[in-house]
Amino acid sequence: MASIILEQLGKTYPNGYTAVRDLTLEIADGEFLVLVGPSGSGKTTVLRMIAGLEAPTHGSISIGERDVTVLPPQERDVAMVFQSYALYPHMTVRENLSFGLRLRHHPSSVIDQRVHAAAERMGIAPLLDRRPAQLSGGQRQRVALGRAIVREPAAFLFDEPLSNLDARLRVEMRTELAHLHRRLDATMVYVTHDQTEAMTLGDRVAVLHEGHLQQVAPPQELYRNPANQFVAGFIGTPAMNFIDGALQGNGQPRTLCTSTLSIPVRTDHAAVDEDEPVVLGVRPQAVEVDVDGQADGADGAHAVVALVEPLGSEQIVHVALDDDTRIVAVVRPDVPVAEDDRVTVRIPPERVYLFRARDGVRIPVATGPHSHP
């Protein structure tokens, strides 16, 4: 097993499109690192550069102690698992598992032993004589994983490996991948656009947007302390609410004013000027909805319920603060709330996030010891 170090990695495709910019990232030996971002953010390009399937335009890649930047894939000692499984259709499961080892001329006793160990580990031992066409999607993905395991690589690279599976299987395989990581103690880099998958699997999660690394941190840290508006909006479901506003006053606390709310916040004056446009962020779980419609102090606002999505364990309530401003709240299932109800919305000042409108950079808000629980 080995660490992976990316230094100032960049990729501009021959058509001139720059998919990855100046990416510096150190993945520790044995770490499970998830690369997450929307479609087109450059995740696959990064993974393919680590695998050696794509040549970087700038920067370097080391695996273990070795600089592998210009080495071909077969000399990098990494195993890649794809969304498409990429199994050989004319070979049995046993042949698919052993193919890579046979290519490398391992003795047949070693091959048999590793194939059986991997088949046991992935629960596919009874399927060894079948061909891929005779397997379900979940079984094929297990074979693809098994094929990577038998190689005993320095690192595993996963490209959206679960996205072809149905929801239940996906959750099951996610648990298995987490177990596999613990048992093998292997370095794993995992690409997904699904933030839930990222949050549940990663020791750390690296968020990419338009080829730029936005933040890399453990899942809870990303959720609690997003570095900017993009990360704040990307991590967490339902997504964080954003409302345009401005900071008024030069004293402390200053007043965060939106079209319908005014909330006292304490911020560093150096971070944002008076009246400079800002964006208020608040997670749906932090929005309080009062169904009695009684205004509750200066920071409450009248609103109309636009939509209620009952999910059983909770209700997702969309409220209109005015014609242009809608926010989402997560409300307990027993709260009586229906479309067109008039309600009061309150945003606790200690749950407010603040971003500079011009660049989305997070502005720290001092709210005492219990900020952002």
Q: Does 258 contact ligand ADP by CB under 6 A?
A: no
C-beta separation of 138 from 177 below 8 A: no
Which tokens hold the place of 115? Answer: 């194939």
CB of 40 to ligand ADP, least distance (A): 4
Amino acid identity of 244? D
Q: Which stretch binds ligand ADP (CB under 6 A): 32-40, 78-86, 120-128, 245-253?
A: 32-40
Tell me the window of 35-43, 267-275, 343-351, 355-363 that interacts with ligand ADP (CB under 6 A): 35-43
Please, which residues have CB within 8 angstroms of residue 33's CB and are 6 or more apart in sequence? 25, 27, 188, 189, 190, 202, 203, 204, 205, 206, 216
Smallest separation, CB 44 to ligand ADP (Å)? 3
Q: How far is the CB of 191 from ligand ADP (least distance, A)?
A: 6
Q: Are strands 155-159 and 78-82 parallel, antiparallel or unpaired?
A: parallel
Our finding on whether 40 is near ligand ADP (CB under 6 A) is yes
* Candidate residues 8, 13, 70, 339; the one interacting with ligand ADP per rule CB under 6 A: 13
- Of 40 and 64, CB closest to ligand ADP: 40
Quote the tokens at residue 78: 């990494």
Q: How far is the CB of 242 from ligand ADP (least distance, A)?
A: 23
Nearer to ligand ADP, 39 or 109 (CB): 39
Question: Which of helix, strand or coil describes residue 196?
Answer: helix
Site size toward ligand ADP, by CB under 6 A: 12
Neighbours of 130 (CB within 10 A): 15
Q: Does 214 help bind ligand ADP (rule: CB under 6 A)?
A: no
At residue 110, φ and ψ (nearest 5 deg) are -65, -45
For ligand ADP, the closer CB: 12 or 371:
12
Question: Which is closer to ligand ADP, CB of 40 or CB of 100?
Answer: 40
Tell me the backbone φ, ψ of residue 97, rounded to 5 degrees. Answer: -70, -35
Token pair 């093998």 is found at 184
Closer CB to ligand ADP, 19 or 149, in the complex: 19
Comparison of 31 and 159: residue with beta carbon closer to ligand ADP: 159
Which residues from 43-72 bind ligand ADP, rule CB under 6 A?
43-45
**Structural element, H or E, at residue 109:** helix 108-121
Beta carbon of residue 15, minimum distance to ligand ADP (angstroms, whole number): 5
Strand partners, 36: 192, 207
The torsion angles phi and psi of 298, rounded to 5 degrees, stand at -70, -25
Where do contacts with ligand ADP occur on this chain (CB under 6 A)? 13, 15, 17, 19, 37, 39-45
